[in-house]
Structure 1
Amino acid sequence: MRREHIKSVILTTLVIVSLVLSYSLWSYQPTYDVLQNQDYVQKVSIGAKRDFKDIVIPNLLVVHESNKNYETTKQGNISPIYRSLQKSEITNFENLTNKTSEVAYQSITKGKNKLEIIFPTVVPVETLGKVLNLDAKRLQNVLFDRIIINLSTKQDSSARIYFSNEAQNILYGATFDNSSIIASVEKIRDNYESFTESLRYKLDSGKIIYLPKKPIKLTTMEFLTTDIDVDKLKDAIFSDPSNVRKESTDSGDTFTDGTRLMSVSPLNRSISFVNPTTPENNNNQSPNLLVQRSVDFINAHGGWTDGYILSGVKPENNEVSFRLFVNNLPVYNNSTITTSWGVDDIETFKRPLYKFRIQVDKKESEMELMAGPQIMEIISNNKSINKSLIKDISLGYETIFDEDKSTINQPYYNRAIQLKPVWIINYDDTYKKIDQDLLSRTGVNIVGLE
């Protein structure tokens, strides 16, 4: 009887073990497919991956000394200040939006020992929290385009710091330990002579800008470029590249899987991708989510090929853009990576097809660009310009492509690109340039660029 009981126990145990093993086999999902997919994604790379600290970068530093403003676009001057700020904990955020008059706001920015760190676009506070040590959990979907620092005169002391967005009349105050900032400021004080004295203007749109008091000299540069591998882009963008068909026309190649479409323009050296399958998002997505999704999408195929930084956040269009910067000045005319998003997937994607290879070693030509007062006078006298639609005025570069049309369909041909200094007007999110050559010849001064 005891022997039969033992047999029964053993049999039951074997049955249980068998069931467990069977279930394990049925439910087992091998990891090699995932690993293979990860290897595949790593191979589809057209450039590099980047962290937020490499993408969310200020492009202008303004120092307020007494009643004068001194600005610099040189990263050698901006980076030490910005890196020092990244080491400081910023706390005690307070909403000052409805508590600060225009006079009070000017008192915040003017006077001795004031710094303004200005970004090319508004930046979500959550995105700033990925590059700065912010204790701002209560702030959501707030956008800032500049940081104003009121430096204390004492070492190792707490100081006031402000986050501002003048166009939307947003102002927050906070506190931080400014000891590291003071040390960095002292190091660049000797460089103040190289800064540009500037004048402060408030645009009709609400934004405050700084323009040079005197004419400024910049050099024209030339680069040799190479084309990005279109097949790599195709493999990176389409979820199943094996189902993608290629069609060639006189205007360029197109790639489609039956619904999604990627168009290649050899003349403009750019690609445009459209995904009509994703449900259209009629609601504005979180600005921070839009930026995060865009960075993740570009990182997935190593899409950072040159000095692109965050330059546009438009929640109303679910759109984010990253513009090419050279010498910390924006480049215009086919020089932007743009993404727009549906509910759960990318809707459109546009980017240049070229990337810089080397700068041409030749004598650079220097150009003298008009001073800020001249620029404002030209705009004021132009009756065709709606002043309330001007969102920004800044120095930048215009790209001028190689005119040899016989080479535009040759992949990887090292065509030259010239970067010409120019004054740029952001006119209702389209870009116009003030053409000094055209002005001297015809009297026409403002022409379209993008």
Structure 2
Amino acid sequence: MGLKYIEPIKSIILLLLVLMSVTFTFSIWTYAPQLDTIEQSPTVDISIGASKKVEDIIKPYKFLIKYDDSLNGTTEQEWIDHILKEMDTWKVTQLVREPNEMNKGQMKSFFEQTNQFTLFFQGEVPLPVYDEILAIVDDQLTRIPEFSFDRLVVRWNPKEIAFEAHFINRATGIHYHGKIAASDTMTSYRQIIREGEKLPAYAEVNAQDSAYLAVPAEPIIMLQSTYIQEEISPTRFRDALFNDPNAVRRSQVDATHEEFGDDHALLGVNTETKMLNFAHPAAFSGEPAAYPSDLLKDVIDSINEHGGWTDSYRFSYIKPYYRNVKFQLYIHGYPVFSEPPHTGTTEIAQYYGVNRVFRYIRPYYTLDVSLNDEEEELPSGIKIVNELMGIENFDFGTVEEITTGYIMKHDLERRIYIMEPTWFYYAKGNWVPYILQQGGGEQIGLE
């Protein structure tokens, strides 16, 4: 009798077990515990200063215009911005390369011709980057080799009121030229050519074996400015440059040096000169940059990512072989150079490696508050030329440019920066200050 019910009882027990398993599985799938909301960690703000467009960073420092009977020019930024605004309405067409490179003499003769104006750039500007400022139409940039220039000459035809552009690299002698299509040719002619007649007089330097030089014929009025020593906390750069700021260790090296570092990168801080030196060794590349235009864009983008334009800096130097790009500090439209021995403290320099920054050297001070501005008169460029040519054992033929700028003096005791108006000449790859009655200066600045 008992054996008769064993099999049904087994079936019932098995069914109950299956139902319990299904019930537990459903409960697990549908279970939603009531948990407190986890607040997201705040994002670190790495916008240190400003982000800038290419046209704010790549700017000429001098404008020179030559007529049949006069030569005029300026370094005033307001006027140069006026020129660039008008040129923004232009497009360059039919861009072609001259078959032969120009030598020093041919280049000098070219710059001496009339009915043209010249824009002077401190560094060699890759043409594909400048296309964002002065448009080059069609597919011309894709079919020509990578090319950089440091002088942009615009010629006009007085009879036809037509313009043509000439891009010249003084180091290589390579020369491209093209036609200019202006949205309103007559307006451009009035705004630039006619208005240019009102600019201060310049004089060409007629020295044998020298490069083309033109300097102001009259004394120059500049502002001597004094700024309070202000700084941006290096920890903000730490947060911007390291992948995980929380993993960074801080150490004091000595009285004026400290370091931030993790297992991959190191940030050195000089608290006296207010300079940062960041290195990420794994990003090193021994290969030259294939295209200067890509290198310059990568560097600008990397600085824009953390708003690294803390003051007015402009593109001043590029060395694709070393993947090196520099930007010069400017105030009142003039370049600022540091006083020896603290060279480089008025520059942002970057070495761009494999898909990221390899080295990054820059100031962390900022010129925010000016205590006072006083007018100061500098002698004419003609006087500077005459003195330079009179220096014994000085090879004037090595001088490639003469212009005005500032020497930045750092008064540590008073915690101020003093900007001294100064004449500079460029020779053998260096900007050299020239002060009257001292017979020259010490080499500073670029390589």
Cα deviation for residue 107 of structure 1 reads 6.2
**Structure 2-normalised TM-score?**
0.79
Provide the rounded CA distance (Å) in 2 between the counterparts of 1:211 and 1:73.
11
Could you list the per-position Cα deviations for residues 214-267 of structure 1 after superposition, in whole angstroms to 9, with x for gaps in the alignment?
A: 443323112234201211101111122122111112122211113421111121
Hey, what does 1:421 align to over in structure 2? Answer: 421
Cα deviation for residue 168 of structure 1 reads 1.4
Alignment counterpart, residue 239 of structure 2, candidates 235, 242, 264: 235
Provide the rounded CA distance (Å) in 2 between the counterparts of 1:392 and 1:102.
14
Cα deviation for residue 297 of structure 1 reads 0.7
Provide the rounded CA distance (Å) in 1 between the counterparts of 2:248 and 2:316.
32
Provide the rounded CA distance (Å) in 2 between the counterparts of 1:62 and 1:294.
30
Query: Gaps (5+ residues) in structure 2?
Result: 1-39, 339-344
Listed as ranges, the matches of 1:228-307 within 5 Å are: 228-248=232-252, 249-307=254-312
Contact in 2 for aligned 1:201/1:210 (Cα 8 Å): no
The answer as to 2:150 corresponding to 1:150 is: no
Contact in 2 for aligned 1:279/1:344 (Cα 8 Å): no
Provide the rounded CA distance (Å) in 1 between the counterparts of 2:235 and 2:262.
14
Could you list the per-position Cα deviations for residues 55-82 of structure 1 after superposition, in whole angstroms to 9, with x for gaps in the alignment?
A: 1111211010115321111122222222
Listed as ranges, the matches of 1:294-333 within 5 Å are: 294-333=299-338
**Structure 1-normalised TM-score?**
0.79
Hey, what does 1:404 align to over in structure 2? Answer: 413
Provide the rounded CA distance (Å) in 2 between the counterparts of 1:49 and 1:181.
33
Contact in 2 for aligned 1:120/1:145 (Cα 8 Å): yes
Provide the rounded CA distance (Å) in 1 between the counterparts of 2:232 and 2:248.
19
Contact in 2 for aligned 1:97/1:169 (Cα 8 Å): no
Provide the rounded CA distance (Å) in 2 between the counterparts of 1:203 and 1:73.
26
Cα deviation for residue 318 of structure 1 reads 1.2
Query: Gaps (5+ residues) in structure 1?
Result: 1-35, 406-414
Q: Secondary structure at the match of 1:79?
A: helix
Residues 207 and 305 (structure 1), Cα distance of their counterparts in 2 relative to 1, 3 Å cut:
farther
Over 4 Å off, 4+ runs: 99-108, 200-204, 385-391
Decide which moves more: 119-128 or 280-289.
280-289
2:80 maps to a residue whose letter is I
The answer as to 2:350 corresponding to 1:339 is: yes
Q: Secondary structure at the match of 1:167?
A: coil
Provide the rounded CA distance (Å) in 1 between the counterparts of 2:288 and 2:390.
37
Q: Secondary structure at the match of 1:208?
A: coil
Cα deviation for residue 368 of structure 1 reads 2.2
Provide the rounded CA distance (Å) in 1 between the counterparts of 2:264 and 2:336.
33
Task: Give the paired residue count.
Answer: 395
Contact in 2 for aligned 1:96/1:172 (Cα 8 Å): yes
Could you list the per-position Cα deviations for residues 287-311 of structure 1 after superposition, in whole angstroms to 9, with x for gaps in the alignment?
A: 1111011101100101111111111
Task: Give the number of the structure whose alpha-carbon radius of gyration is greater.
Answer: 2
Provide the rounded CA distance (Å) in 1 between the counterparts of 2:226 and 2:208.
33
Hey, what does 2:67 align to over in structure 1? Answer: 65
Contact in 1 for aligned 2:148/2:169 (Cα 8 Å): yes
Provide the rounded CA distance (Å) in 1 between the counterparts of 2:320 and 2:206.
27
Contact in 2 for aligned 1:341/1:347 (Cα 8 Å): yes
Provide the rounded CA distance (Å) in 2 between the counterparts of 1:316 and 1:329.
28
Q: Secondary structure at the match of 2:442?
A: strand
Cα deviation for residue 432 of structure 1 reads 2.5
